[in-house]
Each structure stands twice: as structure tokens, then as C-alpha cells.
Amino acid sequence: MSRLLRRKGVLVSVSILAIVLAAAQVATAQIKRGEVEKVLQAEGFIEGPVFDKDGNLWFVEIGTGWISRLTADGKYEKFYDTKIQWGPNGMKMDRKGRLIICHRQLGVIALDPKTKTIEKIADNYQGKKFNGPNDLIIDSKGNIYFTDPWGTGVHNPIGGVYRVTSDGKITQLFNNLAFPNGINLSRDEKILYVAECNKNRLLKVHLNEDGTIWTSYVMTHFSGGWGPDGMSLDVDGNIYQAHFDSGGVYVISPMGKILDFIAVPEGTGTTYATFGGPDNKTLYITESWKNIIYKVRLETAGQPLYHEVWK
């Protein structure tokens, strides 16, 4: 998510209220975790963190258009310049080692880190260009689910969710959402989670075997902030939902109950949470107003992603 408020005073007051409301939704912490620690000071409105098999943490600097990484030995590197500010956003990795990126202007693209070449995966549906893709998840067969929110909102609920098969077939799952943002799948791939940011809620979508929708409903409502952004799941099916302008990550049970709120020490622009570390039990959180990456140790491991066949 990469929208900016122009009135600084409004931003501060809204942010403080959001933090108070977030805390009010959680009575007591119900997950075991360590302290939240600062890992990196980056630049350019950060999003889309994902680990590769060598332990490098890749992320997007949306505001500058860079694809960057924090290497396994702790070096901050600007790796690839897309040359389009406010373009690249959500990012995952496929089993070829390519970075699959949702790009506001270019659609869904693949970046090969070895050659630094870009390949187009999808940029339109039935001849009409996407609104502007935001986030994605890849299933075990290589099919890509992604959100397409740009220019949409409560006033114009035409945000889409799409599925691109490994052979290039595109299916539209939604076309009526108010800024669909983060997206993820349950471990059995029968449930798709969609963060509808501008209605401040998380949707639970039951899928048929062919990836089409069987049914869908609102799973969790949030208070304050702008709305839910990127998310990850743990092996128990709990959702770690970053909430933009609330300064933290909600932990939500598979049934939609809010279990915890992991607040970050600085900044309210929490855009994403992803698992990493040798045992996959460290949650990494991106905060985009101050461009900080945080980490926190958890007792439960993260759900492996499509490319993480080594876990």
C-alpha cells in the first residue's frame, strides 16, 4: 500500500487514534513472542518482503522504484531499478528463483535476479488493462492469485482479484471490492484470504478445486487506521495481518478471532509481515512511513511459501 496523506496534522491524529483502537481490540496477548527489534533502516516506502533459499531478504522500495535486499550477512543493497516510482509493490518468489512482482503500471512481472531481465506475466484481462496490481500469492501448482486495487475505494468499489494459471489463463474472482490489498492462501489451498483495505476488513473466500469461488464472507472487522495490508500465515493457520497506519500486525485465528496485536516501536505505516530465519520462526515486519524493517521471534513457524521447498 502506498498512498500518502498530505496534511501532516491529520496523519498524526489519525495514527494515534488507530494505535489506541488497535490495542482496544486485543484484551491480552495470546501468543508467545519475543521483543520487537529493529533490523534495518531503508528508504523509499518499503513493502513486499520475501526470503530466498540463501537467507537474503528481498523487498520493494515503492516510492523510488527499487527492488532491494538485505543479504544474509547483513548488507543493505539496492539491487534493481525499475525506473518507475510508485510502481512495484507486493512480491513473492517462484521455484525458478525469479521474483514475481505486482507492478502498478506494468501488471504482474517476473524479475530474474541472475540476469536482471523482466518478463511479463499478465497486464490485462479480456483486453482491459488492470487497475494496478498490488499483492500476490502463489499456490503449489504455480498459479498466481493477485489483487488489483488502484483507483478504487468505498466510493468506487471496482477492485479486482484475479487468478493466473501456470499456463497463462486469467480468471477474474472479484470485481467489486474497495481497494483489495493483501492476499494469501490456507495451507490446504481451499481458502483464499483477501484484505479489503478501504472497508477495514478481512475476507475469507472458500475455493473450488479449479480455483474458482465456492462462497465468501467477511471474517474479521478492524477499527481505526486505514485498513489491512499484506499478510502471512503460520503453520497453525493463524493470520499475521499488517494493518496500515495502526503501527503493527494483528494475529488472527483461522476462525477470525483477534488473538494479539504486535506493535512496532516506531512508525504506524505497517505494510507487511513475512516469516524467515533458519527455523522460519522469526516474523519480519515492514514499516513504510519511517522505512524500517523489524523482526520478532515467535514460538510457531510460518507457513512455507510456494518456493520454499527446502523447509
Active-site residue numbers? 229
Cell numbers of 228, please?
A: 489491512
Nearest 5°: phi and psi at 18?
-60, -40
Give residues with Cβ within 8 angstroms of 131, minimum separation 6. 148, 149, 150, 151, 152, 158, 159, 160
**CA 155 vs CA 5, 159, 174: distances in Å:** 18, 11, 17
Secondary structure letter of residue 197 according to DSSP:
G
Going by the DSSP 8-state scheme, the letter that residue 52 receives in this structure is -
Identity (one letter) of the amino acid at 306? Answer: Y
Sheet of 159-164: strand order equals 136-138, 144-148, 159-164, 170-177
DSSP string, 106-166: TEEEEEETTTTEEEEEE-EETTEEPS----EEE-TTS-EEEEE-TT-BTTB--EEEEEE-T
CA distance 286 to 295: 9
Question: d(Cα 163, Cα 122) in Å, to the nearest integer?
Answer: 10
* 235 vs 304: CA distance, rounded Å: 8
